[in-house]
Structure 1
Amino acid sequence: MSGDRPRTTRVPVVLLVPAVAGAGFLVLPLAGLLARTPWATLPQRLTEPGVLTALRLSMVTATVATLLCVALGVPLAWLLARVDFPGRRLVRALITVPLVLPPVVGGIALLLALGRRGLLGSWLDAAFGITLPFTTAGVVIAESFVALPFLVIAVEGALRGSDTRYEEAAATLGATRWTTFTHVTLPLVAPGIAAGAVLCWARALGEFGATITFAGNYPGVTQTMPLAVYQTMESGDLEGAVVLSLILLAVSVTILAALRDRWLTAP
């Protein structure tokens, strides 16, 4: 017997009409972006120094933020999935808050926590002379704050769906918890970690609100691609903003296309 799910060949009109309208609602703005793209001058605009600088900064900060999220998020996801401790539901709820929190509010919260007069920032400044706001490191912090929940959710879901019998067998054979985690658990959930990391990277790449609030918009230092789009649009250069937006759109589509097969074939 085939394991494929049955597919419906006849779609009721009552479902088809709103489905087509919903798809059109999402695709139409993208079509408008492509229609207004200045294709004739596109190569010249893509090689402008400001564009390349913002793109390079975006790529670097998004990558560093993703590495930070993996280092912090994988152990956190394991804790939520494998350890039953008091307040676990509350911790999980707090971790997912950045998903629904307006990014600007997140930026303000970061300022109050890590700014020079913040809860932790004042101590960092006084003890080590470390100032995070309005620096490239601040961009990484802002991107990590909004992207970390994506990785935690993906990895926790993979951990909950994995077969724990392999971990139990390793423990029975005398493996330590660390050995079991590194040699059994991580390989089992590696696809989930990879998917979560890619989504985390894409979210960090497109972050705007928390970045501009916490790190500012300084070319070459904190101006990432989304901030460059905003500044270009504010200056009245619509075509320039379209070109920058097209770059982000191309990256986003590539990321989603790469992950689509995994989502569809996941058990």
Structure 2
Amino acid sequence: MLGLVLRAPWSDLPSILTSEAVLTALRLSLTTATAATLVALVCGVPVAWLLARTALPGRSLLRGVVTVPLVLPPVIGGVALLMVFGRRGVIGGWMDETFGVSLPFTTTAVVLAQVFVAMPFLIVAVEGALRTTDRRYEDVAATLGATSWTTFRRVTLPAVAPGVLAGAVLCWARALGEFGATVTFAGSLPGTTRTLPIEAYVAIGAGDSEVAIVLSLLMIVVSVAILVGLRDRWIGSSA
């Protein structure tokens, strides 16, 4: 971080940040990271509930499967997505032949890659919140005649809302900084799949280190701000 700060072209910072390429990559990154977070919320919260509140057979295996992207190299995730959703993939071949839909090298591919690598952060956070929540309130709601869905919506979800929020923010930040799976599965098409991390990589390849430094600093600032904010929330909750 100190090296980036010392070598940053501060005088050229406004012009670099307002350049068309950087603004396009920024808009794409914000859009796809937000979409990936929404998908992760829809898919991840039910999975976290299954892991935390049920005696589902093979639960430990399921937990291992959904959290393996935390330790898996992102490039391997991109290869796996190609094998599943590519034109010759397990699902992608059928989609291409039946509907004429091809996912690789599209904005949708960027979102899928970001969901793959970022959703485990949400699941881990929400599962932890569900495990530490006092279940007596849910039992009281059940004795008063509330259905399972009503109990979840009116009692459980508000109780774990801080954990869901923390998981969603971590998921969004991880999606924003995703590179390996994205460049492997979605490529580097300006305005379509070239997110901020890929734009920084392209700048390095083109010998434009100033742009790469500015983008790196931008992503570091966002990441540090998020982590500091979540730390204060966690400490405040535990206090």
After superposition, the C-alpha distances for 1:222-264 in whole angstroms (9 at most, x for unaligned) are 0000000000001011111101111111111111121111222
Per-residue deviation, 1:121: 1.2
Per-residue deviation, 1:131: 1.3
Residue 257 of structure 1 pairs with residue 228 of structure 2: yes
Residue 71 of structure 1 pairs with residue 42 of structure 2: yes
Residue in 2 that maps onto 1:54:
25
CA distance in 2: counterparts of 1:198 and 1:60, whole angstroms? 14
Residue in 2 that maps onto 1:222:
193
CA distance in 2: counterparts of 1:98 and 1:129, whole angstroms? 29
After superposition, residues 63-142 of structure 1 pair within 5 angstroms as 63-142=34-113
1:113 partner SS: helix
After superposition, residues 232-247 of structure 1 pair within 5 angstroms as 232-247=203-218
CA distance in 2: counterparts of 1:42 and 1:82, whole angstroms? 50
Per-residue deviation, 1:130: 2.0
After superposition, the C-alpha distances for 1:206-237 in whole angstroms (9 at most, x for unaligned) are 00000000000011000000000000001011
Q: Which amino acid aligns with 2:136?
A: R
- How many residue pairs are counted as aligned between the two chains? 238
Within the candidate set 156, 168, 171, 2:139 is matched to 168
Unmatched tracts of structure 2, length 5 or more? none
Residue in 2 that maps onto 1:213:
184
CA distance in 2: counterparts of 1:47 and 1:86, whole angstroms? 53
CA distance in 2: counterparts of 1:111 and 1:160, whole angstroms? 35
2:77 partner SS: helix
CA distance in 1: counterparts of 2:174 and 2:97, whole angstroms? 32
Residue in 2 that maps onto 1:17:
none
Unmatched tracts of structure 1, length 5 or more? 1-29
Residue in 2 that maps onto 1:193:
164
Q: More deviation in 243-252 or 213-222?
A: 243-252
Residue in 2 that maps onto 1:9:
none
Please report the TM-score for the alignment, with normalisation by the length of structure 2: 0.98
CA distance in 2: counterparts of 1:262 and 1:121, whole angstroms? 42
CA distance in 1: counterparts of 2:115 and 2:37, whole angstroms? 7
CA distance in 2: counterparts of 1:259 and 1:87, whole angstroms? 32
2:8 partner SS: coil
Per-residue deviation, 1:85: 1.4
2:120 partner SS: helix
How big is the alpha-carbon RMSD for the aligned residues of Structure 1 and Structure 2? 0.8
Residue in 2 that maps onto 1:12:
none
- Between the aligned residues of both structures, percent identity stands at 63
CA distance in 2: counterparts of 1:161 and 1:125, whole angstroms? 45
Q: More deviation in 257-266 or 107-116?
A: 257-266
CA distance in 2: counterparts of 1:132 and 1:183, whole angstroms? 38
CA distance in 2: counterparts of 1:122 and 1:174, whole angstroms? 49
